[in-house]
Amino acid sequence: MSKLFMKGNEAIAEAAVRAGCRFFAGYPITPQNEIPEYLSKRLPEVGGAFVQGESELASINMVIGAAFGGTRAMTSSSGPGLSLKSEGLSTLAAAGFPAVVVNVMRGGPGTGSISGAQMDYLQATKGGGHGGFKLLVFAPSTVQEAVDLVYEAFDKSWEYMNPCLILADGFIGSIMEPVELPPFKEAKRQEFPVYTTRFFTDKPGRRMCATMIVNEAEQEQWNRVQAQRYERIAQNEVRAEEYMLDDAEYVIAAYGTSARVAKSAVRMLREKGIKAGLIRPITLWPFPYQCFKKLNEKQVKDILCLELSIPPQLIEDIKIGIEGRIPITAYGRSAGMIFTAEEVTEQVEKLVGKNK
């Protein structure tokens, strides 16, 4: 298959179309604007619908409507917009609806800066919204991986009947790289049984969606069903890349754009004779705790949590995986400032110095 040179945001949008996405609603926000811009032209070409929502709130609710009708639907935004979407995300999860949501992260908190950053890890992974729901969260670190994960996210969200989040960042969104695009999937509308129907009617064929379940026993019953769903996802979907870990004494943990820089740093450190390695979570929820649990504290001297976030956020999950056995040091930049591989190398060398 031939390769195309594409910008991350546009590649994400085209991957969605090829995955069968036929509805998109979104509100402009940098650095993800090329996604709605691309889809405004592309979706009508394939018989789909595009709406520029009047807000992020409206957009995610339009996605809820399209999903209820059985259409593969997507919305995208960045930090502040994701906060506005959180009631809708909670509702998609509560309803058991499939949909894909893309967050092209920027600086934060508040309105923040408009350049790439990784400020929304905790929001994405710890239930960015009310009610303790979980999203299957994928974090791409190249444009090709963004394409592959978006393509797969639609299937995964239909497999589990749960929304999927693509946690990209402004760098992935605006970088241009060669990509191989996947084939077109058949885009058929597919009405699915709605779980909450049973709380309203026993009539076969009727579809009723209400996340307002006033009967306590029914709400609890539904919470249990969802907990089982999360359990299944956690068992089956954990993904991570392990790089040069076998003899590693210094392990960098990083996802997305940070992991690209980390990989170069690992190679540079190896050239200097420092045994460095990398753990790159690909799913942020479910988190690859096992990769950290199995690190041998007699071999690994330090872990560097590398993230485009100040304060660090990923470190919360690394701590759970390490259970205090190995020291963890965080190094971060934020707001669009990015570390170079040399800068990361220096940070690891500092750890080496400390251990001498």
Partner 1 sequence: MEKIYSRSDVLLDANMGYCPGCLHGVIAKIVAEVIEELGIRDDTIAVLPIGCGALISSVLDTDAIIALHGRAPAVATGLKRTATEKFIFAYQGDGDLASIGLAEIMHAANRGENFPVLFVNNGIFGMTGGQMAPTTLIGQKATTAKSGRTPLEGYPMHMCEIISTLKAPVYIERCSLDSPQHILAAKKAIKKAFMNEIEGKGFSFIELLSNCPTNWSMSPQKSLEYMREHTIAEFPLGVYRDETAKED
Least spacing, CB of residue 78 vs partner 1, in Å? 20
Q: Tell me if 322 sits within 8 A of 295, measured CB to CB.
A: yes
The letter for the amino acid at 65 is G
- The neighbouring-strand residues paired with 103 are 77, 167
Rank residues 77 and 118 by Cβ distance to partner 1 and give the closer one: 77
Instruction: Please state, in angstroms and rounded to a whole number, the distance separating the CA atoms of residues 332 and 353.
Output: 20
Least spacing, CB of residue 85 vs partner 1, in Å? 11
Least spacing, CB of residue 47 vs partner 1, in Å? 10
Rank residues 204 and 273 by Cβ distance to partner 1 and give the closer one: 204
Rank residues 209 and 244 by Cβ distance to partner 1 and give the closer one: 209
- The neighbouring-strand residues paired with 166 are 102, 138
Instruction: Please state, in angstroms and rounded to a whole number, the distance separating the CA atoms of residues 168 and 103.
Output: 6
Instruction: Please state, in angstroms and rounded to a whole number, the distance separating the CA atoms of residues 241 and 235.
Output: 17
Least spacing, CB of residue 106 vs partner 1, in Å? 23
Our CA dihedral for 210, 125, 35, 48, rounded to 10 degrees, sits at -30
Q: What residue ranges bind partner 1 (CB under 8 A)?
A: 22-23, 25, 49, 51, 53-55, 57-59, 61-71, 73, 87-88, 91, 189, 200-201, 203, 206-212
Rank residues 77 and 113 by Cβ distance to partner 1 and give the closer one: 77
User: Encoding tokens for residue 77?
Assistant: 């935004």
User: What is residue 159's three-state secondary structure?
Assistant: helix
Rank residues 189 and 272 by Cβ distance to partner 1 and give the closer one: 189
Least spacing, CB of residue 351 vs partner 1, in Å? 48
